[in-house]
A and B are shown apart, each in its own frame.
Chain A
Amino acid sequence: MNKRAPIFVLIAGAVIAILAVMFLVMPKRGEVSDAQDELVTAEQMEQELQLKLAQLEEARDAAPETNKEIRDIETLIPPTADEPGMILLLQSAADRAGVDPFTIAPALPTLSGDGRFSVISVSLDAQGSYFNLEEFLYNLETLPRAAKVISISVTASVASTDTTTTTTTTTTTPTENELGSQIVVEFYTTDLDAGPGSAPGPSDTPGAEGTG
Chain B
Amino acid sequence: MSRVNLLPPEIKERAKLRQRTALAVLGVIAILVLVGAFYVLEQMNLSNAQDELAAQEQTNATLQTEISSLDQFGALETELKEKQALEDAVYTNELAFSGVLMDVSHVIPPDAVLTSMAAQVGASGTADAVVETVEGAPVGTITFEAASNDLESVAMWLTRLEQVKGWINPFSTTMTETGPRTRQYTFSSTVDLSPDALTERGRRANEAAAG
Stretch of B34-42, B163-171, B180-188 lying at the A interface? B34-42
Q: Does B121 contact A (CB under 8 A)?
A: yes
- Which positions 55-102 of chain B face chain A at CB distance < 8 Å? 56-57, 59-60, 63-64, 66-67, 70-71, 73-74, 76-77, 79-80, 82-87, 89-91, 94-98, 100-102
Which of A14, A133, A135, A188 gathers most chain B CB within 10 Å? A188
Closest to B25 in A: A9
Q: Is the interface of B mostly helix, strand, loop or mixed?
A: helix
Inter-chain CA distance A89–B6, complex, in Å, is: 132
Q: Are A25 and B39 in contact (CB under 8 A)?
A: yes
Stretch of A113-121, A160-168, A195-203 lying at the B interface? A113-121
Q: Does B210 contact A (CB under 8 A)?
A: no
Chain B interface size range: 35 or more
Q: Contacts A3-B17, A137-B97, A151-B119 hold; do A56 and B91 have CB atoms under 8 A apart? A: no
Chain A interface size range: 35 or more
Nearest chain B CB to A62 CB, angstrom units: 8
Inter-chain CA distance A1–B17, complex, in Å, is: 8
Q: Are B49 and A39 in contact (CB under 8 A)?
A: yes
Which of B's residues lie within 8 Å of A, judged by CB?
14, 17-18, 20-21, 23-25, 27-29, 31-32, 35-36, 38-39, 42-43, 45-46, 49-50, 52-53, 56-57, 59-60, 63-64, 66-67, 70-71, 73-74, 76-77, 79-80, 82-87, 89-91, 94-98, 100-102, 105, 114-121, 123-127, 130, 199
Which of A's residues lie within 8 Å of B, judged by CB?
1, 3, 5-7, 9-10, 12-14, 16-17, 20-21, 24-25, 28-29, 31-32, 35-36, 38-39, 42-43, 45-46, 49-50, 52-53, 55-57, 59-60, 63, 66-67, 69-70, 73-74, 76-77, 112-114, 116-117, 119, 121, 130-131, 133-135, 137-138, 140-141, 146, 148-156, 183, 186, 188, 190, 206-207, 209, 211
